[in-house]
Structure 1
Amino acid sequence: MLVRTQDNAPQRSGSSGLNALAGHAVSCSEFKYQRGTEIFGDAEPVDYLYQVNSGAVRCYKLLADGRRQIMAFYLPGDIFGVENSAVHRFSAEAIVETTVRLTDRQNVVDGEEEDGRAAAINNVLRLVTSNLQHAETHMLLLGRKTAIEKVAAFLIEMDVRLSAAGVLSLPMNRRDVADYLGLSLETVSRALSQLKDRDVLTFTGQSRRQIILRDRAKLAEFDH
């Protein structure tokens, strides 16, 4: 279920990352997506650019054998939906109840002045490059690391992006983590238990998605 959080009037926010991307103020609409709701689908036209305001988004591809490969997680402040082609290569959906700002792609690249358009295009290209670098890092993670090294690398990435007040609160479940790392659910659970047994981390809360990293130095030793 998708809910528009405001009336039909577009929003303008000087602090919006989409404005920074465009290099000028752009009209943004804000939508709320319920857990599991698709934001855009594989092969759909790239009409909009998106920014997570709250919640979390997973970007994934369904493989021919029915498996799901998660390519990236987008967290508050992250911009997504940027492509170097006219259609999306992956699907995106809300992991939890998520609020997303979106703007027409042309709002970003069509500045009022030629210099503004050039700057916006350069900003988009830098974001595309950053996404490609993440994809390369993800590919190395999938292909070259053991299960416990993959889980350690994931926790280090999330620690940088999510930790607050000493607690790493994951919006994604273990199935999501498994599909991101190319592992089975059981293997992810086993790796987390091994890290717990080695006093690297501990769990808090009933969902076991809240993690306290007790020894970051020891965790980093697994991420060679």
Structure 2
Amino acid sequence: MSDIWDGALRLDFAAGEEVYGQEESADLIYSLVKGSIRTSHLLADGRRQIGDFYYAGDVFGVETGPAHRFSAEALTDCEVIVVKRSGSVAFESGRVEKLVWAATATELARAQTHMLLLGRATACERVARFLLDMADRFRGDLVTLPMSRQDMADYLGLTIETVSRMLGRLQADGVVEFAGSRRFRVRHHGGLTRLAAA
């Protein structure tokens, strides 16, 4: 499937820059080469819901309708490649359609996991699951989170105060250790796994 990106447009985005906006046309599909992306939906009352976070190798921006329901913003400096859903050689050959189906299946699985997390997990379980996922994705002794605590809170359906309190509890219990607000190491992997799976 990688040949679909051959000759595709490469774009660079600085941290904080919008990749696409909520309600904008969804005729492009994006593949993240490097960096981190956050998708979010702004509600009518001004509240924000984080849809998901994307990292190098992820495909994002795939929609079932003609417009984006979420906006996408670079959390860090990013390199992105894009391909048009319609009118391209890849589209005519059916390769884009296959990519859309694969990306849609991945998005559905992610949405179901997120729904279970929001619907059934306690605050501590949500934060533990999030940290475990980040540690599994960014392997190494010290994990650097590209997102803020407010981003974590908006993704987990919690307040920033609750997220900070749960992080403090996990650190006090010796499960994780923070070196600043965005860098942590897992001190007790089994304990974090048990909390995340509770």
Q: Is this a same-fold pair by TM over 0.5?
A: yes
CA RMSD, aligned part only? 1.6
Taking only the aligned residue pairs, the percentage that are identical comes to: 39
Partner of 2:22: 42
One-letter code of the match for 1:174? R
One-letter code of the match for 1:110? E
One-letter code of the match for 2:189? R
- Of structures 1 and 2, the larger Rg is shown by 1
Partner of 1:181: 156
Find out whether 1:200 has 2:175 as its counterpart. yes
| Distance (Å, rounded) in 1 between the aligned partners of 2:177 and 2:44 | 37
1:20-169 counterparts in 2 under 5 A? 20=2, 24=4, 26-106=6-86, 107=88, 108-111=90-93, 117=94, 120-163=96-139, 165-169=140-144
| Per-residue deviation, 1:50 | 0.9
Mind listing any 5+ residue stretches in structure 2 that lack a counterpart?
none
Aligned positions, number:
195
Partner of 1:11: none
Mind listing any 5+ residue stretches in structure 1 that lack a counterpart?
1-18, 112-116
| Per-residue deviation, 1:67 | 1.0
| Per-residue deviation, 1:57 | 0.5
| Per-residue deviation, 1:76 | 1.1
Assess if the C-alpha contact under 8 Å between 1:201 and 1:214 holds in 2. Answer: yes
Provide closer, same or farther for how the CA distance between residues 72 and 213 of structure 1 changes in structure 2, counting only shifts above 3 A: same
Matched position secondary structure for 1:49: strand
Matched position secondary structure for 2:50: strand
| Per-residue deviation, 1:193 | 0.6
Assess if the C-alpha contact under 8 Å between 1:26 and 1:103 holds in 2. Answer: no
| Per-residue deviation, 1:152 | 0.7
